[in-house]
Amino acid sequence: MIAPAPTKRRRPVATSPRDRVARVARDLFIAHGFAAVSIDEIARRAQVSKPTIYAHFGDKERLFLHILETACTRLIAPLISEDARGRPIAEVLRNHAHHYARAVLAPEVVALHRLCVGEAQRFPSISRRYFEQGPEMAHKALAAFLQERADAGEIACADCDLAAWHYASLVIATARTRLLFRVEDAPHWPEIDRMVASAVELFLRGIAADA
């Protein structure tokens, strides 16, 4: 009888000190708030020296901003792309809404959003930066896309900037509010998908050229 070949142990994926610091700091900020977390605690948990943190990020505020900017890339990733220009708007928005909801309602993004709201009074510059690089940037890209379609006569949209805000509210507001206030501990994707699909159809009816 031939003995089975020994299984190879997978080596853990090595992470750089910079990535390890960012991950540890993110978890600590979410758990305890920005003000309550010290560089000493981050260094101890990440198993690096304080000079290493300062060399990579400068100070605690810039470390926090780096974490927020990384999260914002998840909001920007599903934005309207160049290849969407020749596709029907209904197809583009249905696809966009699905991916946008997945990005915005991801547990770590909701947690950071909650943290920014909680720290806005004491650290307004941090919360403002998050808004500018996340929600506002996503909004501007969508508004520009809607304006292109309105200029082409494909949709009826007198104020595409306002329409883009309406779209975002329809797609994510209900689910995000429930998650922010911990009415639900985690996103229930089948229900969210149903709400998102309904929101997009409602929005499409509102901007239909023959509406």
Measured CA to CA, the distance from residue 201 to residue 211 in angstroms comes to 13
**pLDDT by position in tens, the chain (length 211):** 334 444 445 444 458 999 999 999 999 999 999 999 999 999 999 999 999 999 999 999 999 999 988 888 766 655 556 667 778 999 999 999 999 999 999 999 999 999 999 999 999 998 998 899 889 988 998 999 999 999 999 999 999 999 999 999 999 999 999 999 999 999 999 999 999 999 999 999 999 987 5
Measured CA to CA, the distance from residue 71 to residue 106 in angstroms comes to 10
Phi and psi at residue 185, to the nearest 5° = -80, -25
Angle, to 10 degrees, between the axis of helix 60-76 and the axis of helix 135-151? 30
The structural domains of the chain, ordered by start, are 15-58 (1.10.10.60), 69-207 (1.10.357.10)
Measured CA to CA, the distance from residue 147 to residue 161 in angstroms comes to 8
Measured CA to CA, the distance from residue 141 to residue 139 in angstroms comes to 5
Supply angle C-alpha 128, 132, 137, rounded to 5: 160
Measured CA to CA, the distance from residue 182 to residue 134 in angstroms comes to 22
Counted residue by residue, the chain has a size of: 211
Say what the pTM is: 0.82
